[in-house]
Amino acid sequence: MAKRERGPRERMVMSAAELIRRDGVSATGVRDVVEHAGAPRGSVQHYFPGGKVQLVNEAVAWVGSYTARRIVRYVEALERPTPGALFTEMTDKWAAELTATGFAGGCTIAAATVDWADSTESTRTAAAAAFAAWTRPLADALTGMGVPETRSEDLATLMLSTLEGALLIARAERDVRALTSAARELAPMLDGAVP
Amino acid sequence: MAKRERGPRERMVMSAAELIRRDGVSATGVRDVVEHAGAPRGSVQHYFPGGKVQLVNEAVAWVGSYTARRIVRYVEALERPTPGALFTEMTDKWAAELTATGFAGGCTIAAATVDWADSTESTRTAAAAAFAAWTRPLADALTGMGVPETRSEDLATLMLSTLEGALLIARAERDVRALTSAARELAPMLDGAVP
DNA sequence: TGCGTTCTATGACGGCTGTCATGATACTGG
DNA sequence: CCAGTATCATGACAGCCGTCATAGAACGCA
């Protein structure tokens, strides 16, 4: 997964994101990140003079933009572009990932929010930016599918909220049930929003 | 809030739940819980011989049953009992709590899931039990409102997922926007499920 | 009164945390 | 070749963590 091309710096950011989404922010130590990335330990103070806070924030930002690009790709790949189909696509992808990894890891942004939203303002801001970066392409896609512009952003937020919540419940239950049943009910409702 | 009547044991469980939902599980130390509860430090090994794991699990279970009772009360208090009205009631209550507390604390169960779902099986099980304890009365209420029994549980899960996710986003954004817009869109859709 | 159980108090232990000081090495440009 | 910067390596620091051993206090019961 981690190409040789990537420098130690980017590898550390990716490893941080991976470990955070699995164990949470507080439980993820910088030594763990270094080891997981196969990076030299001395690099942490060289590349991240801001310490763990900087590392975590960059991980959050990285996941934010990476996932935003993924959303765009989902939209483009839809053969029958409707809001419900898009939502089903997202829940399906997550369900597949959860089962493939044995439910070992949820959303990095959710973990960062739960763990550090109160204590570290910069991390909370980064998480909010990530959510905003996902809402925008989602709302644009909905508008492109014929959803009235006044409702596009609300519906995008609804999709995101439901996805995040279902992901959380699925992880607790070690069962994709929450994802599939949320999609089964919400998808037709979303399609009803396009006149 | 904490009545004098409650023994130190229950006060510690409640304090644990409160601190966990604010700072996460890993960031909440047993010393913090003891201090927050105004309990004697020596009591922790007396009442919770299972250590921090037991304390966390009991906090999760406590929030689970407490919130389940709250859901039942919400249902009974509705003047015009429809699925949408119930969902709006829940999001409104959470939005009010978030603004009142300065967005300082989300859902205890979500925090426990994100932090310990992978590392501590018993906590994951407790979290799953809590979600189940919320789904059941919710589904029953929906059935009572005329929702077909085949869809009640799915819709209950959808409501819960959306609520949890919107709560998360709201905390990251320090804005109840996610809660209100999710309710604005989902509530009418839910009402459409009763024939 | 005296015994036994329940509860509280205190201090210590090893282990892990994030951070930093210090120094060695690699590499690049003149 | 040499100088200077970028990168890496190592060890130490203070602080917090969960846990436990030990002992004292409070209380009910006979």
CATH for A8-191, among 3.30.200.20, 1.10.357.10, 3.30.365.10, 2.40.30.10?
A: 1.10.357.10
Check CB contact under 8 Å for B172 and A124.
yes
The helix (H) or strand (E) run that includes residue A154 is helix A149-173
Whole-number distance in Å between A39 CA and D27 C1':
60
- B4 or A15, greater pLDDT: A15
pLDDT average per 10 residues of sequence, chain A (195 residues) = 62 95 95 91 90 95 96 94 96 96 94 95 97 97 95 97 98 97 96 87
In this predicted structure, what is the pLDDT of residue B64? 97
In this predicted structure, what is the pLDDT of residue B177? 97
In this predicted structure, what is the pLDDT of residue B3? 36
CA atoms of B52 and B12, how far apart (whole Å): 11
In this predicted structure, what is the pLDDT of residue A166? 98
Q: How many CA atoms lie within 13 A of B24 on its CB side?
A: 23
The count of residues in chain B is 195
In this predicted structure, what is the pLDDT of residue A177? 97
Q: What is the chain B residue with the closest CA to A180?
A: B154
In this predicted structure, what is the pLDDT of residue A4? 41
In this predicted structure, what is the pLDDT of residue A5? 53
Residue ranges of the alpha helices (H) in chain B? 8-23, 30-37, 43-47, 51-77, 83-100, 108-116, 121-144, 149-173, 177-191
> Which of B26, B53, B103, B158 should one mutate to test binding to chain A, selecting the residue with the greatest count of A CBs within 10 A?
B158
Question: Is the confidence at residue B135, as pLDDT, over 70?
Answer: yes
> Which of A185, A186, A190 should one mutate to test binding to chain B, selecting the residue with the greatest count of B CBs within 10 A?
A185
CA atoms of A69 and B75, how far apart (whole Å): 41
Instruction: Give the minimum alpha-carbon distance from B108 to chain A in angstroms, rounded to a whole number.
Output: 9
Burial of A170 (0-12, 13-18, 19+ CB in 10 A): buried
Check CB contact under 8 Å for A174 and B124.
yes
In strand D, the nucleotides that come within 7 Å of a protein beta carbon are 6-11, 16-23
pLDDT in tens, B44-72: 999 999 999 999 999 999 999 999 999 99
A7: phi then psi, degrees, rounded to nearest 5 = -70, 170
In this predicted structure, what is the pLDDT of residue B1? 37
In this predicted structure, what is the pLDDT of residue A188? 96
Do residues B59 and B108 touch, judged by C-beta distance below 8 A? yes
- Sign of the Cα torsion B73, A169, B58, B41 reads negative
- pLDDT band for position B5 (cuts 50, 70, 90): low
Question: Is the confidence at residue B123, as pLDDT, over 50?
Answer: yes
CA atoms of A166 and B113, how far apart (whole Å): 12
Chain A within 8 Å of B111 (Cβ-Cβ)?
Answer: yes
Whole-number distance in Å between B43 CA and D20 C1':
13
- pLDDT band for position B194 (cuts 50, 70, 90): confident
Instruction: Give the minimum alpha-carbon distance from B134 to chain A in angstroms, rounded to a whole number.
Output: 12
In this predicted structure, what is the pLDDT of residue B193? 84
Angle at A104 (CA atoms; ends A43, A134), nearest 5 degrees: 75
pLDDT in tens, B143-188: 999 999 999 999 999 999 999 999 999 999 999 999 999 999 999 9
In this predicted structure, what is the pLDDT of residue B2? 35
Please choose, from the candidates B103, B189, B82, the residue with its C-alpha nearest in 3D space to the C-alpha of residue A192. B189
Chain A within 8 Å of B52 (Cβ-Cβ)?
Answer: no
Residues of A in contact with B153 (CB under 8 A): 181
Chain B within 8 Å of A59 (Cβ-Cβ)?
Answer: no
Q: Which residue has the tokens 């205890």?
A: B108
The residues, any chain, with a CB within 8 Å of residue B56's CB and separated by 6 or more, are B16, B20, B25, B112, B116, B120, B123
Instruction: Give the minimum alpha-carbon distance from B83 to chain A in angstroms, rounded to a whole number.
Output: 14
CA atoms of A97 and A119, how far apart (whole Å): 30
Average pLDDT, chain B: 93
Burial of B132 (0-12, 13-18, 19+ CB in 10 A): middle
Q: What is the chain B residue with the closest CA to A21?
A: B114
Residues in A 10-29 whose C-beta is less than 7 A from nucleic strand D are: none
Burial of A4 (0-12, 13-18, 19+ CB in 10 A): exposed
> Which of B60, B153, B162 should one mutate to test binding to chain A, selecting the residue with the greatest count of A CBs within 10 A?
B162
